[in-house]
Structure 1
């Protein structure tokens, strides 16, 4: 599972890196005995983890970075560049610009403003910050199943925020949205393409039609689902929403989710490069070294890990962002794994699914007569499966959003606890049978 070949390649790469510096020999005189002792203790402590890296882990949204990303990140850390200003990131800033251009092109943008961030939260904060500058004092709205970060960030920015009700498929309800738009105080609609809870895709195509009438900004939160733009396996209607991403005003996507990157690596993109005027500032000691754009001039963050840019750039050399390449096939695998698991659930009368997966997240529960009993059995099955090294997750879903096929179940709670699987590893498509075999056995 932890291939020593990586260490061999990294050692060769370090030798190549050292050849580029003609400097006097310098030895920091490390006490390697102490270092080894500490690292062995770190390894022991790190054993206290679920096997997030293994396909039998099918719970939370945890995906191991690809070996090329791990090695490139480690290699860059010997330099430890800071992608704030060019004099601290002569190599890694150009690599970031190149990588971000490929991210933008994945969504059909050639003219844009964007950069990497420390994660999706900061990326979304920049999007809403700009939204507040374009439409000051106007409201931010997002679906009730959108990521909680939008409400929290709106509070931090001092912007009014309101949740939009969802339908029984976990998507933003169009009628509920239009009711809010009629009030005339909505500046930005956050459209989630792949919610982190259920994987649901908001109806972007229809929301774009509403935009023509009400003139609001559209921010796409594709932190989780963005890479599904490359998938050819999605339902036609869902695929249409992804195909229309290019009409949005801003997009957030996290390479540290489906993009095979270490945490934290987010990306914010703006369709109109002119929003860069909101970032305008000066620095007395970092921006004088070059007339070229310093990434810190278009970022709310100051110091940022250049190693993240190096790792993403290296990964994109191996896995270009094309539908007909390994990345596109990998996203197809994720969706197929989810559909395979969904089929097994629907074929078994002892379980009840929530709804057909639109991306790669599946929600289901052991069937029983009441929501209280279902919640109790879900928690018990979660524990039993974990004891067999099959790791799922738990998810609380609002009772009022349950689909019709849950109609005969007694609604004695406002929320029901279900089982949840994020099948986001490309290899999951080959492991669904084994996962289900143990789930089925432990549920009997």
Structure 2
């Protein structure tokens, strides 16, 4: 079994196995004609369950043959131009190269003696991102597993910085369109059921700052503590960006922590044409970044950035085997000259201990493509969304909710002369399900004011307006078929 360990003696085995795996995936990417096969759970589950995990195949080629059946053949392929579903992106090749390197070397980014150069690369990328945000020299941060963890850590810091130890009095203010992880974080942090105050959004799905101001004033009048205001730079459903400068003014006025969830909109930091949409983000106390969305990185690649690095101390716990305090006990030998000073242990800043070297993917991307290359890709999908909005707005069969700031379109099919909202809801839901079952395209769904809508999340620069038009025709066809059948039965 030692022949399967990655070491100097198995280097050739590693080379052959990885090369064959790359060839299989490359072939699948080159030949996939639909984003999905349409396989159902009932069809695929017995195939997976039939695999006897206690009987190894003993051979990488045989395992890859099996993987074709249980995974590769039926995977949902985000690189396909008609995958228009969730916030999943096709990935850039330099990042995939970085993924291969980091997985093989297997550094753990918690301490210097497990990662060395990896620690410095991650810190350099944190500095680079902080500069792009507009933070000063005191800024710091750490990579995380995703936006949910980043938001949790930001609110942990906000809780610890709040001027009260009475958790029942703490309040978090956020838009009704913000990510569910805000509510989830409040629960995990031991806050009460009333801790999160939902602020209504305007017609463009941006936080109403007039209402925010009124709620902050009410909080103060009732003797409660405004712990944090969470602004969203790219809501999951609409891609809308809250008015950051106005929110920053209110946060400063009430002495409350301002967090910006830019998990989606962080790509604007590299944009060649839209950077101004993030004006005001530099005034935040913390920012969430999901590079695995609008920086086209493989999952996972996220970070939490803070304007004042000292606040990260709230995540620090000392363990002698990891990050001992650098004190010299009586009788210990002196520290060699080259090891004096602070040891850069990233575990001091993180909620995680063992942690992948995900920063390497972004490092390779920037070193090969540059920030402008990433920004150009994100600008392309935002331009595509603008063109898609014009298409939907001009089509009487569809109702489109808001003109996009980023790359999301929320809309629904409304047939002529049909006035039953319930039947329209069912037709849109059926169209989405039928489209997914066909495998021809993948779209997402959501609700707006209680009604069923469909959603394009455009993160593939290879998608065209022709693809959008074709998918809209498919949706209309499925919806019309459903309505035809059900209207006949109803009559």
Q: TM > 0.5 between the two?
A: yes
SS in 1 for 2:410: strand
1:205 and 1:241 in contact (8 A); partners too: no
2:119 alignment partner in structure 1: 93
For 1:131-150, what per-residue CA distance to the aligned partner results, in whole angstroms no more than 9, with x for missing partners? 00011432112111111011
CA RMSD of aligned residues (A): 2.4
Structure 1 residue 254, shift from structure 2 partner: 0.6
Specify every segment of 5 or more residues in structure 1 that has no aligned partner in the other structure, as ranges.
12-30, 399-414
Structure 1 residue 298, shift from structure 2 partner: 1.1
SS in 1 for 2:260: strand
For 1:171-230, what per-residue CA distance to the aligned partner results, in whole angstroms no more than 9, with x for missing partners? 112222122101213121000010011111111122123234322221000011111233
Structure 1 residue 371, shift from structure 2 partner: 2.7
1:346 alignment partner in structure 2: 393
For 1:373-402, what per-residue CA distance to the aligned partner results, in whole angstroms no more than 9, with x for missing partners? 33122123324444261221111112xxxx
2:127 and 2:140 in contact (8 A); partners too: no
Q: Which has the larger radius of gyration?
A: 2
1:385 and 1:439 in contact (8 A); partners too: no
Specify every segment of 5 or more residues in structure 2 that has no aligned partner in the other structure, as ranges.
1-15, 24-55, 327-338, 478-491
1:56 alignment partner in structure 2: 82
User: CA separation of 1:427/1:303 partners in 2, compared to 1, >3 Å: closer, same or farther?
Assistant: same
1:326 and 2:373 correspond: yes
1:145 and 2:177 correspond: yes
Residue pairs, 1:178-217, within 5 angstroms: 178-182=213-217, 183-184=219-220, 185-217=225-257
1:19 alignment partner in structure 2: none
1:418 alignment partner in structure 2: 453
Separation of aligned partners in 2, 1:70 and 1:172? 37
User: CA separation of 1:212/1:101 partners in 2, compared to 1, >3 Å: closer, same or farther?
Assistant: closer
Residue pairs, 1:67-82, within 5 angstroms: 67-82=93-108
Q: TM-score, normalised by structure 2?
A: 0.76
Residue pairs, 1:294-309, within 5 angstroms: 294-306=345-357, 308-309=358-359
Separation of aligned partners in 1, 2:407 and 2:94? 24
User: CA separation of 1:348/1:327 partners in 2, compared to 1, >3 Å: closer, same or farther?
Assistant: same
Q: TM-score, normalised by structure 1?
A: 0.83
Name the count of aligned residue pairs: 395
SS in 1 for 2:126: helix
Residue pairs, 1:193-272, within 5 angstroms: 193-234=233-274, 240-272=276-308
Separation of aligned partners in 1, 2:293 and 2:144? 13
Structure 1 residue 34, shift from structure 2 partner: 2.9
For 1:388-441, what per-residue CA distance to the aligned partner results, in whole angstroms no more than 9, with x for missing partners? 61221111112xxxxxxxxxxxxxxxx11111011012223xx22123124225
2:316 and 2:347 in contact (8 A); partners too: no
SS in 2 for 1:92: helix
SS in 2 for 1:101: helix
Separation of aligned partners in 2, 1:331 and 1:162? 32
2:90 and 2:459 in contact (8 A); partners too: no
Residue pairs, 1:21-40, within 5 angstroms: 33-40=58-65
- The one of 129, 136, 159 equivalent to 1:132 is 159
1:229 and 1:243 in contact (8 A); partners too: no
